[in-house]
Structure 1
Amino acid sequence: MTRYAYFGLFLVALAAIVYVLMSAATGKPDGNSYQGFAKGEMAKLDFGSAGQPIPAGTFTDTDTTQQTLEIFKGKTILVNYWATWCPPCEKEMPALGALQTARASDKFEVVALSVDSPEDAEYAKRRLTELGAANIAFRHAPMDNGDVIYGAGVRGFPTTILYGPDGIEIARLAGDADWASADAVQFIDAAIKNAAR
């Protein structure tokens, strides 16, 4: 080979190395480290929005104050957007309650945000208990004040989004799931363990 051919190969190799390094240096988590845990019931997880920050919109907290999801920073949270008029939402609520019972700690919490209308807030609060999720604090984010909903890119209900303690999205699941399944608990455990590093 001529000297020019070697030089050309060197430039191609150098460009490939620079591309790989630049891709790795973006620092944006893409969920790939969790995809190995997305099995069984969790195979429906979507990692396409991984790396997005917690939305800035507000919701009404248990003490009726306006809060943002920022209050959970430092904790891995599973945010579930649900409504009483949504049968799949109600179907998965007992499993979310069971997950909260199994894993709630200073490192993890299930955050259920009811998107019911303000007139239905008391009914939604009561329904949360009736569905076997009394251990999940009632929080309300009506759709007419939907910054916390639409800011998260929620397009249907239920939608459940896992955020790390840094407030960055890990994965999301549109539709209902068995959040108390062994696959779901393993996925949540992996997220909590990874956050502890």
Structure 2
Amino acid sequence: MLSWLGGAGLLAVGAARAARAADPAQDHALAVVEPPRPAPAFSLQDINGKTHRLADYRGKVVLVNFWATWCPPCRQEMPSIERLYLAMKGRPFEVLALDQGETLNNVFAYMGQLNPSPTFPVLLDQHSEAAHAFGVMGIPTTYLVDKNGMIVRQAVGGRDYDSPAIRQVIEALMR
């Protein structure tokens, strides 16, 4: 019975996401986190072996995206995250994409298939420890962390991250 309810819940979430995806106004929504809460610390390696700590980005607005290669909405939003990242290059902004539970080989192979391949850091959260610390319930889930390390916005489900509405939110946070 419990597994049936879990499956029904997943179907309901999927239907709600599909309905939201059909409404373009929702694609730009980043929910306000009120009150803002401290972003959990993490230290993870990227696909090139470099270690990234969230604390190293204090003073910048950071888009923290939890995703996986097998997740269709994650794959769909990746190009918009890259466009946003390139548009904000040289500004106090960073993107950290945390892959959930996959091997380096799987993630590296997927990155090689993308054209263009993302230039932002892609980190490996192989045991989903950072995801658990953030309270991620499904992917994609994205958080905006302000310059003081506080989570101020969040989104569950795919988004168009280089939309004017989302850029405006990020611009305001960088001031």
TM band (smaller chain): 0.7 to 0.9
The answer on whether the counterparts of 2:47 and 2:108 sit within 8 Å (CA) in structure 1 is: no
1:98 to 52, 64, 83: 83
- d(CA) in 2 for partners of 1:181 and 1:117? 29
Give 1:155's aligned residue: 137
- Give the 5 Å matches for 1:1-197: 41-43=27-29, 45-48=30-33, 50-61=35-46, 63-118=48-103, 121-129=104-112, 130=114, 132-142=116-126, 144=127, 146-193=128-175
C-alpha distance in 2 between matches for 1:68 and 1:49: 25
- Deviation, structure 1 residue 103: 0.8
CA distance in 2, matches of 1:131, 1:123: 17
1:157 Cα deviation after fit: 0.4
Tell me by how many angstroms 1:147 deviates.
2.5
Q: Report how many residues are paired.
A: 150
Structure 1 position 57, deviation (Å) = 3.2
Whole-angstrom distance in 1 between the partners of 2:87 and 2:121:
15
Q: Quote how far apart the aligned CAs of 1:136 are.
A: 1.4
Letter of the 1:187 partner, please give it. Answer: V
Give the stretch that moved more between structures: 132-141 or 84-93: 132-141
Unmatched tracts of structure 2, length 5 or more: 1-24
Once the two structures are overlaid, the 10-residue window that deviates more, 90-99 or 58-67, is 58-67
- 1-structure distance, mates of 2:143, 2:79: 17
Q: Which AA in structure 2 matches 1:94?
A: P
- Residue 135 of structure 1: CA displacement? 1.5
> Which residues of structure 1 form unaligned runs of 5+?
1-38
Aligned to 2:19: none
Structure 1 residue runs of 4+, over 4 Å off? none
**TM-score when scaled to structure 1?**
0.68
**Closer, same or farther: CA 60–113 of 1 in aligned 2, 3 Å:** same
Distance 2:138 2:168 in 1: 25
| CA root-mean-square deviation | 2.1
- The 1:57–1:90 alpha-carbon spacing in structure 2 relative to 1, beyond 3 Å, is same
What is the distance in 2 between the residues matched to 1:40 and 1:115? 25
Which protein is richer in strand relative to its size? 2
Equivalents in 2 of 1:79, 1:133: separation in Å? 18
Give the structure 2 partner of residue 34 of structure 1.
none
TM-score (norm 2): 0.76
C-alpha distance 190-157 of structure 1, shift in aligned 2 (>3 A): same
